[in-house]
Structure 1
Amino acid sequence: MRTETEIGGSAVSVAYAATTLARQIFESLADSTVLLVGAGETIELVAKHLEGQGCKKMIVANRTKERAEVLASQFGAEVIALNDIPEVLPKADIVISSTASPLPIIGKGMVETAIKKRRYQPMLLIDIAVPRDIESQVGELNDAYLYTVDDLQSIVDSNIEQRKVEAIQAEAIVSEESAQFMSWMRSLQAVDSIRQYRKQANDTRQDILSKSLQALAAGGDPEKVLLEFSNKLTNKLIHAPTKALQDAAEQGDPAKLTVIRQSLGLDQTK
């Protein structure tokens, strides 16, 4: 289903939506520096998604250094204190923030200064904290692109609806494939019967062929031997089906008669 549909192709978590947004804006996350503000579960999930997208340069800023180091050790990231953000911010192409701070950590002036030091290279800031970690006025700056958790939630909601559409197609695939699988399972019940029938036919052929070869070796007329071989083989092979057709007709069982005719290929359209 994941191969044939887009059921797994749309972000349905805020953390994944943030990573998807960053990947869409920047051509390659491998060449981007990401500043992660916070070290909780959400930021850890973001870091995992970033690593999965090829991001190699991450910086973790957190109030508690020990927690930041635990997170950073998983991804080979650099660790800084919150107070160091103004100094490091110009290096960041992408900023993703999620802390429990009651007040904004990154203000308009801080970002404005960072952009100047970056020589006005664009900066993406994604604030997924509630309350906000990044002042809303940052979005007024040129070359600073600010997205909040509300923006990401609208993306997530839209993607959930898209997955529902894909789920309909996925259910159709499940129905089709499961029907084929059950048909295959039922066909296995006929394997022994088919094997036995083929063996019986082959044994019959081998027995008559052996006698025909003996007749040829004894000097019999090849044409007569072949004619007798074909007649005996035909009679042997059609004996059981012929008897089954007669029995079904005598018993007045048209359904059984139809099945036998179909199995013998008598009702096939030419």
Structure 2
Amino acid sequence: MALLALGINHKTAPVEIRERVSFAPEKLVDAVQQACQAAGLEEAAILSTCNRTELYCSLKEEESKRLLGWLAQYHGLDVGQLESCIYEHWDLGAARHMMRVASGLDSLVLGEPQILGQLKSAFSVSQDAGKAHSELGRLFRQTFSVAKQVRTETSIGQNPVSVAYAAVSLAQHIFADLRDSHALLIGAGETIELVARHLKQAGVKSITIANRTLSRALALADEVNGKAIEFSDIPQALPNADILISSTASQLPILGKGSVESALKKRRHRPMFMVDIAVPRDIETEVGELEDVYLYTVDDLTEVIEENQRSRMDAAAEAEELIEAGAEAFMRQLRELEAVDSLTALRNQYQSLANDELEKALHQLALGKPADELLKRLANNLTNKFLHEPSVQMRRASAEGRQDLQDAAQELFQLNSLSKD
């Protein structure tokens, strides 16, 4: 049996394929069980995100086609549609791949932390399905351990590499404590959603969402315990905003110099931090000329992101070394465990031979035979019984020129060291 990581991701498949191969969260337990039944697997797990779908399992290499066939059939695809974008990683490669995924080294955004939680969820689902034990269970636990080591011993996740995170990071440099700050967010698209979540995690005091469509603003405000307003209410909300971040699709500026000047007067010139993420810009460039206003554009954030991306690349090289060591350590442990069954069988066989000889000796002792004579015979018989089959096999190996077995016997039983003694 071999370990396999099989899947597609943002590097190998377009979104049109990825969305068709994704699994609904509520169907994952059933899907894991179906995969095991279709491909004859004892263990399996499925990771399904917007950027990747991967199956982890233990099976014979020739059976991987059955697993790929099941994946295609489950999603109503021809196998040919998947073969061009599927990848397979085996044994050490599978362990290395899982650890890279968990550490964010295989992500669209290098070092992003969400994927580790998604992998933990995949493991939990597999456990719920009764399909994560022995080898796969050990691999997941080792993967989580290595990912934690990467997070704590490198700076892979310390610097922001998304526009939303970079905007909030800049705010934290301007304000010593965001818990005393009020934020006004203009727009309700994906970027503003991420900004709102980052601000909430940073502990900002209050968040107001302004959007042209109030229902969208309300939905996001509910998520972050904020307040929703319409665009027409922005002038009234502006004087209370310590942080203003805007990202809309408007073709004309939403915020002009005059309205900001008016807000600053009401604020008694307490500083305002503004980030204009929109293209075209939402905030007139003249606003940046005002004292007490710190205005950043998307280009300013890009510089921050690129610098942080370079920093993460350096950290990624350190992470790769930790992952390689972790993957090799896991495979070494796995190989050690493979010897357990053989050692158990060997011990049982020799114990059975010993028990037989002991029973004979005790019977002779009960008949009055001298104990010292019986002990010598017992030791001699045990030696002969223990060495009979190995002796036969070693003579046969020698006759056949199997020097490898001769060398293995020397190493297993440390015969060289005994002869030197």
TM-score, shorter chain, exceeding 0.5: yes
Residue 365 of structure 2 corresponds to residue 239 of structure 1: no
Pick one of 40, 49, 59 that aligns with 2:198: 49
Q: Output one character per residue of 1:110-137: Cα deviation in whole Å (capped at 9) or x when no partner.
A: 4344344434443321111112222334
- What is the letter of the counterpart of residue 223 of structure 2? Q
Supply the distance in 1 between the matched residues of 2:357 and 2:219 (Cα, whole angstroms). 82
- 1:138 aligned onto 2:287: yes
Q: Give the gaps of 5 or more residues in structure 1.
A: none
- 2: distance between equivalents of 1:83 and 1:16? 28
Partners of 1:152 and 1:179 in 2: CA distance: 39
Give, in whole Å, the separation in 1 of the partners of 2:175 and 2:416. Answer: 65
SS at match of 1:130: coil
Q: Which residue of 2 aligns with 1:66?
A: 215
Alpha-carbon distance in structure 2 between the residues aligned to 1:15 and 1:268:
66
Alpha carbons of 1:230 and 1:27: their partners in 2 closer, same or farther (altered >3 Å)?
Answer: farther
Query: Gapped runs of 5+ residues in structure 2?
Result: 1-102, 104-146
Corresponding position: 1:18 with 2:175: no
Please state how far the C-alpha of 1:95 moved relative to its aligned partner. Answer: 1.0
Q: Deviations over 1:32-87 (max 9, x none)?
A: 32110112222122223323334452101223333322332332321223333233
Say whether 1:201 aligns with 2:338.
no
Amino acid at match of 2:378: F
Pick one of 395, 402, 405 that aligns with 1:253. Answer: 402
Using the alignment, how far apart are the partners of 1:128 and 1:267 within structure 2?
Answer: 74
Question: The residue matched to 2:233 in structure 1 has which SS?
Answer: helix
Pair 267,115 (structure 1): closer, same or farther in 2 beyond 3 Å? farther
**Whole-angstrom distance in 1 between the partners of 2:363 and 2:213:** 97
Q: Which amino acid in 1 is paired with 2:215?
A: E
Q: Tell me, what secondary structure is at the counterpart of 1:85?
A: helix
Q: Mean alpha-carbon deviation: is it higher for 217-226 or for 252-261? A: 217-226
Would the aligned equivalents of 1:262 and 1:268 in 2 still touch at CA under 8 Å? no
What's 1:123 paired with?
272
Closer/same/farther in 2, CA of residues 241 and 40 from structure 1, 3 Å limit: same
Alignment correspondent of 2:363: 214
Once structures 1 and 2 are overlaid, which stretch shifts more, 48-57 or 193-202?
Answer: 48-57
For residue 146 of structure 1, give the secondary structure of its aligned residue in structure 2. strand
TM-score scaled by length of structure 1:
0.82
Distance 2:241 2:396 in 1: 87
What's the % identity of the aligned pairs?
Answer: 47
Match of 2:188 among 4, 27, 39: 39
What root-mean-square deviation, in Å, do the aligned CA atoms of Structure 1 and Structure 2 show?
A: 3.0
Alignment of 1:69-218 (within 5 A): 69-187=218-336, 189-218=338-367
Among 230, 249, 262, the alignment partner of 2:411 is 262
Query: Which residue identity does 1:231 align to in structure 2?
Result: N
Q: Does the 8 Å CA contact 1:244/1:260 hold for their aligned counterparts?
A: no
Aligned mates of 2:258, 2:372 — CA distance in 1: 108
- The total of aligned residue pairs comes to 270
CA distance in 1, matches of 2:212, 2:195: 18
What is the letter of the counterpart of residue 380 of structure 2?
N
Q: In the superposition, relative to structure 1, how do residues 223 and 169 fare at CA in structure 2: closer, same or farther (>3 Å)?
A: same
TM-score, normalisation: structure 2:
0.56
Aligned equivalents of 1:255 and 1:209: distance in 2? 35
TM-superposition CA deviations, 1:158-193 (whole Å, max 9, x none): 222233333333444444444444445555554443
Query: Which deviates the most, 2-11 or 146-155?
Result: 2-11
Larger Cα-atom Rg: 1
Q: Distance in 1 between matches of 2:392 and 2:182?
A: 83
Give the counterpart letter for 1:261 in structure 2. Q
Aligned-partner residue type, residue 387 of structure 2: I
Question: Which whole-Å deviations, capped at 9, do the CAs of 1:179-218 have from their partners, x for residues lacking one?
Answer: 4444455555544432221110111222222333334444
1:83 maps to a residue whose letter is: S
User: Which residue number corresponds to residue 40 of structure 2?
Assistant: none
What is the aligned partner in structure 1 of residue 36 from structure 2?
none
39-48 vs 7-16, which moves further: 7-16
